[in-house]
Amino acid sequence: MPPAILAQGVVKAFPAKWFKPPLEVLKGVDLTVPAGRIFGILGPNAAGKTTLISILATLLLPDAGRVEVLGLDVVRQAQLLRRRINLASAGAHFLWCLTVEENLAFCGRLYGLGGRVLRRRVAELLELFELTEYRRVTFDNLSTGLKQRLALAKTLINDPELLFLDEPTSGLDPEMARHLREEIARLNRETGLTILLTTHNLREAEILCHEVAFLKDGVLAVHGTIPELQARLGLGDRVRLRFAGAPPALDYARLPGVLAAEVTDAQVTLVLDRAEVRLGPLLALLSHNGAPPVSVRLKEADLEELYHELAH
């Protein structure tokens, strides 16, 4: 299956004021996003995440590089591509005096929907995002959570094959953010929709994304699943095993899922890629060797640490 997104050497700079050199935001980004996946672009503020997603969504023209989305060139075939994609950004914005229903209908018409088809689609989306009871409420009278839900509902109005979500949970309370994440995951699971999202929330990326890439200094620094990135950077769940006597003589560093190992008199400290998967077999192995630990202490991977490692 061809990738949903294929970008090679994407460069983007913005003109600066008063004879200053242009501000180079993307310095040659290469990106491949497989179809049907949730792919996360991570990075600190001002890393160029919105710039990249805007280029992919045809809102911004790249200065250089080749970008194909769903097999279409984002510059030369933008109009064709726009029928098949949609986007939602942080801080949902719609025309303040239009109701939820009218805003959805407006967006539907922009994609050429009308009559019964439009009415049915709007009703489906209102139902799907539990907005039916608010359908006659004007946008400026909605809570932040409902606004964001409307923004997500709007992205499905044209039944897109690819969705761009630019920091979709930014500014939402934890409960609403969780709800929205569940919606995003469900959409991908049930419809096979490819989703590219940007976030600086690593926990969100871990929950939602099959793969992530980290944008740093205008290039994609690393790319993979979060456990893969943890393994690559030697970051993971920390397990401290205390023994009654000397620990069993094993090559701990070579055990499956062990990223780092430190053995002292009566203690072994291991860094595991995923403790919930590795710890059971590890304890079984130690018991098999006749020296089960007397205590086990687990400290889950600090994702902030991973973020820090990648960002600096």
Contact residues for other proteins, defined by CB under 8 A? 14-15, 50-51, 54, 57-61, 79-80, 82-83, 85-87, 89, 91, 93-98, 102, 105-107, 109-114, 118, 139, 154, 158
Q: Judged by CB, which is closer to other proteins: 163, or 220?
A: 163
Among residues 84 and 232, whose Cβ is nearest to other proteins? 84
**Least distance from other proteins to the Cβ atom of residue 60, Å:** 6
Closest CB to other proteins among 79 and 133? 79
Beta carbon of residue 145, minimum distance to other proteins (angstroms, whole number): 18
**Residues forming beta bridges with residue 179, ordered by sequence position:** none
Tell me how far apart the alpha carbons of residues 225 and 306 are, in angstroms, rounded to a whole number: 13
Closer Cβ to other proteins, 55 or 301, answer by number: 55
| Cβ closest to other proteins, residue 90 vs residue 301 | 90
- Which CB atom, from 117 or from 298, has the smaller least distance to other proteins? 117
Q: Least distance from C-beta 158 to other proteins, angstroms?
A: 8
Q: For residues 56 and 231, which CB has a smaller minimum distance to other proteins in the complex?
A: 56
Task: Compute the least distance from the CB of residue 65 to other proteins, in Å.
Answer: 14
Q: Compute the least distance from the CB of residue 77 to other proteins, in Å.
A: 11
CB of 87 to other proteins, least distance (A): 5
SS (HEC) of the chain: CCCCEEEEEEEEEECCCCCCCCEEEEEEEEEEECCCCEEEEECCCCCCHHHHHHHHCCCCCCCEEEEEECCEECCCCHHHHHCCEEEEECCCCCCCCCEHHHHHHHHHHHCCCCHHHHHHHHHHHHHHCCCHHHCCCEHHHCCHHHHHHHHHHHHCCCCCCEEEEECCCCCCCHHHHHHHHHHHHHHHHHHCCEEEEEECCHHHHHHHCCEEEEEECCEEEEEECHHHHHHHHCCCEEEEEECCCCCCCCCHHHCCCEEEEEECCCEEEEEECCHHHHHHHHHHHHHHCCCCCCEEEEECCCHHHHHHHHHC
CB of 235 to other proteins, least distance (A): 34
